[in-house]
Amino acid sequence: MATPALAEKPAVTSRPGRRPRRPVFGRRDHLIALLLIAPAIAYFVVFLLYPALAALYYSFTDWDLRTAPNWVGVSNYTDLLFDQAKYPHFWQSVKVTLQYTLIAVPLTLGTALCQALLLNTIRRGANVFRLLLFLPVVTAEAAVGAIWRWLYDPQYGLVNVALGLVGIPRQNWLNTPELVIPALAFIAAWQCGISMIIYLAGLKGIPASIREAAIIDGAGPVQRFRRIVVPMLRPTTFYLLVTGVIAALQVFGLVYVIFSGGGGRSVTGGPEQSGLTYVLHLYLFAFRYDAMGAACAMSFILFVFILVITALQFRFLRQEAS
């Protein structure tokens, strides 16, 4: 929805034959403009820029939230990356998060596209199905966690019952280290409603004339999907891929709820730390182990990593997309 609109914009403004714009802002206008954007700027500075800069500063200190921070240079960063005694599970959390991203993002996009295609085909009751498929997104995270813990229950879980019908033996989903990430990714795919809506908008944006022309030329449904739908949806897919990867790298709430088990029990990231995602690890250091300085350093490592990954995606995938 957003991407096609963005892509059209430059084409409109750079239309030839248009008179060059005169500068319309006088001093007075400047002042009014500034006043109008002041709330937004204030919000940005107070709630985003200042905390980010403060976190950058604290990442070079040993701050524990209570006592005055001491400057420690880059040692938080070097210890995180190289000191296995101090941070025994840092690299594990990186591994878990990358695996999760690699599974969850394609699974989510695939599910979202399938749902959007189905919704686009049906004539009656589309609204009802759209609502039902979107429901997981607006459900409270704590409820989602509780429900999926029941679904994945090794004794009574419906997931095992369903697999049993096709002859697959019962699994202990959330307690087998190898199965934890796929199980979490599956929940993410179930919550793909937002991607589904965006794909649906993309599908509606494909002109009917193209489809009709293809039908007249004798293209079957598979060909139409491969030659028309997939290429026409590329900008949408690119947008969802970039935002999906960013979100997956920061996954936290669901893992926290799934593995906390309630009752004030501590969260250590599932069996053998197999569900210890990067942000969960960061959270534990910030608020459980009192190492806010190290946690700030972790958040900046993640920030740089996301920046690089996103830049790479723009560099190598966008050209293809446009």
Partner 1 sequence: MIRRVIGTAAAMTLLAGLAACGGGSGGAAATTTLTYWMFQDRTPQAGEVIEKLRTGFEQANKGVSVKIVKIPKDDYNTKLGSALASGSVPDVGVLDQPLVSRFALDGTIKEMPAGTIDEKAFYDGALTTNKVGGKLYGLPLDHTTVALFYNKALVPAPPKTWEDLKRVTAEVHQKDPKIAGMVVPKGDGYGGWMWPGFVAGAGGQMADVEQKKVLFDQPPAVEALQLWVDLLKSSPREITDSDKPFENGLAGMMISGPWDVANIKDQFPDLQLGVAPLPYKTQPAGNIGGENAVVFTKGSHAELAWKWLAYLTNSDNNTELAQALGGFPSNVAAAERDAATFGPDQAAFLEQLKVAQARPAVPQWIQINDEIIAPALESALSGKATAQQALSDAAAKTRTLLGWTG
Asked whether position 97 contacts partner 1 by CB under 8 A, the answer is no
115 vs 284: CA distance, rounded Å: 37
Asked whether position 254 contacts partner 1 by CB under 8 A, the answer is no
User: How far apart are CB 172 and partner 1 at their closest, in Å?
Assistant: 5
Asked whether position 149 contacts partner 1 by CB under 8 A, the answer is yes
Pick one of 101, 111, 273, 277: the residue that binds partner 1 (CB under 8 A).
Answer: 273
Asked whether position 243 contacts partner 1 by CB under 8 A, the answer is no
Asked whether position 141 contacts partner 1 by CB under 8 A, the answer is no
Asked whether position 288 contacts partner 1 by CB under 8 A, the answer is yes
Residue identified by tokens 């723009």 is: 314
230 vs 224: CA distance, rounded Å: 9
304 vs 298: CA distance, rounded Å: 10
CA atoms within 13 A on the CB side of 236: 24
Pick one of 240, 284, 301, 321: the residue that binds partner 1 (CB under 8 A).
Answer: 284
Which string of x and - marks every residue 183-222 that binds partner 1 (by CB under 8 A)?
----------------------------------------
Asked whether position 80 contacts partner 1 by CB under 8 A, the answer is no
Asked whether position 89 contacts partner 1 by CB under 8 A, the answer is yes
Task: Provide the 10 A C-beta neighbour count for residue 43.
Answer: 11
Angle between helices 141-151 and 158-165 (to 10 degrees): 40
Cα–chain-centroid distance for residue 300?
18
DSSP 123: -
Asked whether position 121 contacts partner 1 by CB under 8 A, the answer is no
Stretch that binds partner 1, among 44-52, 86-94, 118-126, 235-243 (CB under 8 A): 86-94
User: Which residues neighbour 244 within 8 Å (Cβ) at sequence distance 6 or greater?
Assistant: 104, 105, 108, 109, 195
Asked whether position 234 contacts partner 1 by CB under 8 A, the answer is no
Q: Tokens standing for 219? A: 């293209």
70 vs 81: CA distance, rounded Å: 20
Pick one of 272, 305, 309, 313: the residue that binds partner 1 (CB under 8 A).
Answer: 272
Stretch that binds partner 1, among 120-128, 228-236, 264-272, 310-318 (CB under 8 A): 264-272
Asked whether position 268 contacts partner 1 by CB under 8 A, the answer is yes
DSSP 146-207: HHHHHHT-TTT-HHHHHHHHTTPPP--GGGSHHHHHHHHHHHHHHT-HHHHHHHHHHHHTS-
DSSP 205-224: TS-HHHHHHHHHTT--HHHH
Which amino acid is located at 125 in the chain? G
Total residues in contact with partner 1, by rule CB under 8 A: 34
1 vs 55, beta carbon nearer partner 1: 55
Asked whether position 51 contacts partner 1 by CB under 8 A, the answer is no
96 vs 284, beta carbon nearer partner 1: 284
Stretch that binds partner 1, among 98-106, 109-117, 226-234, 260-268 (CB under 8 A): 260-268
Stretch that binds partner 1, among 191-199, 205-213, 236-244, 267-275 (CB under 8 A): 267-275
Binding site for partner 1 (CB under 8 A): 64-67, 85-86, 88-89, 149-150, 153-156, 170, 172, 174-175, 261, 263-268, 271-273, 284, 287-290, 292
